[in-house]
Chains A and B, each alone.
Chain A
Amino acid sequence: MKTDRRMFLGGLGLALMPGALLRGAAAYAVTPDGGLVIGMASETSSIDPHWHIVTANSSVSQHIFDRLVHMDEHQGVVPGLAESWKAIDDTTWEFTLRAGASFHDGAPVTVEDLIFTYERAQNVQGAIFNLRAYLGDKTFEKVDERRLRVITKSANPIVPNELTAVAIISKAHGEGASSEDYNSGKATIGSGPYRFVSYTPGQSIVLARNDAYWGPKPAWAKVEIRPIANGGSRVAALQSGDVALIDSVPPADMAHLAGVSGIKTTKATANRMVFLFFDHNRETTPYAKANDGSEIPNPFRDLRVRQAFNLALDKAAIANRILSDAGEAASQLVPEGIFGFNPEVSVTKADAAKAKALLAEAGFPEGFTVTLHGPNDRFIRDSAVLQATAQMLARIGVKVEVDAMPSNIFYKRASSGGPDGVPEFSFFLVGYGAATGESSGPLRNLIHSYDKSKGYGSNNRGRYSNREIDALIEKGMATVDDTARKAIFEECAGRAIADVALVPLYYPISVWAESDTLAFAGRSDERTLAMDVQPAG
């Protein structure tokens, strides 16, 4: 339904493009005094930087608040408020604060501010996305005026990556401040490249350049961020010159925008993987049945069946045709360029004949029936991807019934909809983003066995379990040396994919469109930052 409308509107836009009605050069929302207006698909729910770490909120908070460690466009860690850091031993990290960094009120950033920040971030009342997930295992100690020690309960090699999630706030203004105080601007004092000017929920966020910023000065004196939820409206706002840059260009509008003069698009592969997951655990799985409807043992416990599924799916076709190039065919847990990507693992070439043979070998020469569950409002064209998957599997004789549902129902059932709160589905479509910019997240939370006491496998809704890989992941999680850890994580990825723990389908590609008077490269963390935008030429 949603897709149809987009396609319909895109088509209409296309039909209307040629002809005399076309306006001359649009006055794009880049003003001579250096203002930039950005249209974003999602609305920022709060200016409180510790409330909910979701793209729309992080994008805004990154302008106002620095982190101790920053991420570059490819999510590599680079110095933020800390000019350097080092691991002293397996459980201790030391960060050295940058000299000369100050808050918007002129006060210098001190170690006390850092310690206060990490305390508050874990204790925001009512936060469901709680930063305890990043900070819970750490204690913070002041060494001297410039140095902070982070002590972890067990060896943790990704402390700098984890700290990129936490915006540093001023203790003087943040003490006792509620989310409301951040929305109103009362407590919104950061050390970032932009100062907070105003926030009108659902309408706009206005920022002004911080001329005292320690880092490179951004090009725009004033930035306005507007939420424009509807894809067609976002494109129209760009075309009419009301905004100069938009994110999440609807796939249907890509072709039409390519023909509009004065507008160009920017693409960047996101650090997220959309994949198909199996029920690896139960002896019989509720949604897989023989062709006559009788019970069969869980077919997904057989590696050959999983391999057959993997071979049956033409990932390139899904990425290029179904998603109109808004996705890149996936080979493993993270896309190329992210720490832990194994260059030896490549995208499986679809081979229906081989898949059929494997299926026959596994005892299903006539295939079987299975229900494929998935969300219909979470990923770009997710319903269409589900349908395409079903058809590709039909070619090898597996009859797939698609059951797509809104994500508010889907995720609950996928996590705990079965008897006794176990995951309900047999075969389903989900996604996982490597928020820390390296592969430990998906390895620890998706591939590692579900282990409540260790806190591993929390997103392992297929209950995949392989003791050898588990041991390897745990070893990697305790290896602070980057080179050694990288080798371990690459091996984990290789083994998990060889064992078809899951079938990676695609990495979504974030698509921006902007006035061609701007130079913009895009980022892998899906954020849209005015700091990344420069005047062209």
Chain B
Amino acid sequence: MFASIAQRILQGLFVMFCMTLIVFAGMHAIGDPVDMLISPQATQAERARLIAEFGFDKPLWVQYGRFLWGLVHLDLGTSYIFNQPALQVIVQRLPATLELAVLATLISVVVGVPLGLYAGLRPHSALSRLIMGGSILGFSLPTFWIGMMMIMLFSVKLGWLPSGGRGETLRALGVEWSFLTVDGLRHLLLPAVNLALFNMSLILRLTRAGVAEVMPMDYVRLARAKGLSNGRVIFVHVLKNVLIPVVTVVGLEFGSVIAFSVVTETIYSWPGMGKLIIDSINLLDRPIIVAYLMIIVLLFITINLVVDIIYTLLDPRVRFGARGKS
């Protein structure tokens, strides 16, 4: 198992390396941020001096070499926009995104799985039809629209919840968290629900399909024949089998919720990483873009690893790293 994990990590490092190359080449093709950031009062000599100072006039391989040299020293470069180490800028915004993503995923699982289970067990009831119909809305309506509508309703009309921002935060483990204060939770609720809607619908439908598939199977009948209680049949035997595809999807979606929550973050002025990457691309802030994408690659590798470990817990037949041996 450990050999297998090590192999995964090595693969991941290789992917990261390739990614930095692609990003560097791509950014180089577009250009440098000097034309956008320089003072309109600056003279030509000043402009040339700046370009030379940043090494933007050097060939791509020299710039890439410098980047790798920095990487060896654990330095991902300094942001052209924030004048802070790129990694620091990202890590500053990571907790906000993380708590939003965790809460959104939690909501989508806690609401999605039971509803899906219900819809799967009683496919013909009116409530099931309502749930399934609602789930279509959940993944077909655009996030920004639902987000704005929720603000209009809950903040502007009813005045129950704040329209955006992070609210009061509390420091724990050296980081500011919103979910530890009542005010923070109030700020967190709308964006988290907004972010959860799509995944909730997805999980709900996956669970329902799984249940519909598993219920007629022999082992379920056997369990019933053995005289097990309905609850035990459903929650132990059925659910465990249904959850395997759900875990895969939750894992992948958790990654994308962290990496690409930009729409929700922008609408709710949530100071997370999603907006940061878009702004950085617009302003060609290369150190941030590279560092951000490296972190995202790392994140997906970790999530996939965790997902694989959860598989083995859910299904004893899946053995980590046992591929090809059976």
Contacts and interface: CB of A to CB of B under 8 A. Distances in A.
A261 interface: no
A26 B157 CA distance: 10
A201 B80 contact: no
Interface string B135-163: 00000000010001101100111110011
Contact of B152 (A43, A183, A236): A236
A112 to B, nearest CB: 25
Contacts of B267: 230, 232-233
A23 interface: yes
B4 to A, nearest CB: 39
Given A130-B50, A458-B42, A203 B166 contact: yes
A236 B156 contact: yes
Contact of B157 (A23, A179, A203): A23
A130 B83 contact: no
A289 B279 CA distance: 37
Contacts of B276: 202
Interface stretch (B27-35, B112-120, B121-129, B204-212): B27-35
A324 interface: no
A411 interface: yes
Given A23-B157, A455-B45, A128 B50 contact: yes
Contacts of B63: none
B178 to A, nearest CB: 10
A227 B268 CA distance: 11
B93 interface: yes
Interface string A227-251: 1111011001101111000000000
Contacts of B44: 450, 452, 455, 458
A202 B275 contact: yes
A459 interface: yes
A5 B31 CA distance: 29
B165 A458 contact: no
Contacts of B84: 46, 179-180, 183
A126 B83 contact: yes
Contacts of A441: 40-41
Contacts of B37: 52, 128-129
Given A21-B157, A458-B43, A129 B148 contact: no
B152 to A, nearest CB: 6
B40 to A, nearest CB: 6
Contacts of B290: none
B39 A411 contact: no
Given A23-B158, A201-B93, A412-B32, A228 B152 contact: no
A233 B272 CA distance: 16
B177 to A, nearest CB: 13
Interface string B63-101: 000000000000000101111100001001100100000
Contacts of B89: 201
B41 A436 contact: yes
A531 interface: no
Contacts of B81: 45, 52
B282 A26 contact: no
A229 B266 CA distance: 6
A22 B153 CA distance: 10
A218 interface: no
Nearest to A406: B282
B12 interface: no
Interface stretch (A131-139, A340-348, A391-399, A518-526): A131-139
A16 interface: yes
Contact of A200 (B158, B271, B279): B271
Contacts of B152: 12-13, 16, 236
Nearest to B85: A180
A233 B279 CA distance: 17
A215 B17 CA distance: 56
A128 B38 contact: yes
Contacts of B43: 133, 455-456, 458
Nearest to B29: A409
Nearest to A444: B41
A432 B83 CA distance: 25
Contacts of B39: 53, 129-131, 133-134, 435
Interface string B253-268: 0000000000000111
Interface on chain A toward B: helix, strand, loop, or mixed SS?
Answer: loop
A412 B31 contact: yes
B52 to A, nearest CB: 13
A179 B82 CA distance: 9
B46 interface: yes
Given A52-B37, A232-B267, A242-B164, A132 B83 contact: no
Given A16-B152, A127-B83, A226-B269, A412 B40 contact: no
Given A233-B269, A441-B41, A411 B166 contact: no
Q: Which of A229, A415, A452 has the most CB of B within 10 A?
A: A229
Interface string B171-184: 00000100000000
Interface string A199-236: 01111100000000000000000000011111011001
B36 A408 contact: yes
A377 interface: yes
A436 B268 CA distance: 36
Contacts of A130: 38-39, 42, 46, 50
A9 interface: yes
Nearest to A242: B163
Nearest to A9: B148
A341 B176 CA distance: 51
A232 B266 CA distance: 10
A441 B43 CA distance: 11
A51 B84 CA distance: 11
Q: Which of B45, B144, B163 has the most CB of A within 10 A?
A: B163
Interface of B: 30-47, 50, 54, 78, 80-84, 89, 92-93, 96, 144, 148-149, 151-152, 155-159, 162-166, 176, 266-269, 271-272, 275-276, 279, 281-284
Given A23-B156, A180-B83, A408-B30, 8 more contacts: A26-B159, A52-B83, A128-B33, A133-B39, A134-B41, A230-B267, A233-B163, A458-B44
29 contacts: A12-B152, A23-B156, A23-B157, A43-B279, A48-B83, A126-B54, A128-B50, A133-B46, A178-B83, A179-B84, A200-B176, A201-B82, A201-B89, A202-B93, A226-B165, A233-B267, A233-B268, A242-B165, A377-B282, A408-B284, A432-B40, A436-B41, A441-B41, A450-B44, A452-B45, A455-B43, A455-B46, A456-B43, A458-B47
Interface of A: 5, 9, 12-13, 16, 21-23, 26, 43, 45-46, 48, 51-53, 124-134, 136, 178-180, 183, 200-204, 226-230, 232-233, 236-237, 239-242, 377, 406-409, 411-412, 414-416, 432-433, 435-436, 441, 445, 450, 452, 455-456, 458-459
